[in-house]
Amino acid sequence: MKYSTAFISAFDRDRLLADTVCYRFIVIGEGINALLGNPQSGLAPAAIIDRYPDIDWKGYAALRNIVTHQYFRLSPDKIWAAIESELPVLKKTVVAALQLA
């Protein structure tokens, strides 16, 4: 809890920190969008999507859309929750998938 309070305070106060964190979520979301494929263009989802269904792939893509287009809806506590609980799981999954490749 100590870190979340410090992060939220810094996120609200320090635009460079907030912009940097948001940019990284944009990059993650763009990568995941590429993995999700594009049915209109005939691109199928990457195998990692099916192999790891517990990851909220579409949720990351949606977060990217909020950060990019609806930044007025950003909630520092939700950003912190994603950093603290979701990103470690995503990282572990991606590292495992890369080791299989």
Q: Given a cut of 90, is residue 26 above it in pLDDT? A: yes
Q: What are phi and psi for residue 37, nearest 5 degrees?
A: 80, -175
Mean of the per-residue pLDDT values of the chain? 89
Q: Write down the pTM of the prediction.
A: 0.85
User: Sorting pLDDT into bands at 50, 70 and 90, what band is 101?
Assistant: low
DSSP state letter for 44: P
CB environment 51-67: b (16+ within 10 A), e (fewer): ebeebebeebbebbebb
CA distance 48 to 94: 8
Q: Which domain holds residue 89?
A: 2-100
CA distance 85 to 99: 22
Query: What is the pLDDT at residue 47?
Result: 87
Residue-wise pLDDT for 56-73, tens only, equals 999 999 999 999 998 788
Q: Given a cut of 70, is residue 94 above it in pLDDT? A: yes
Domain count, the chain: 1
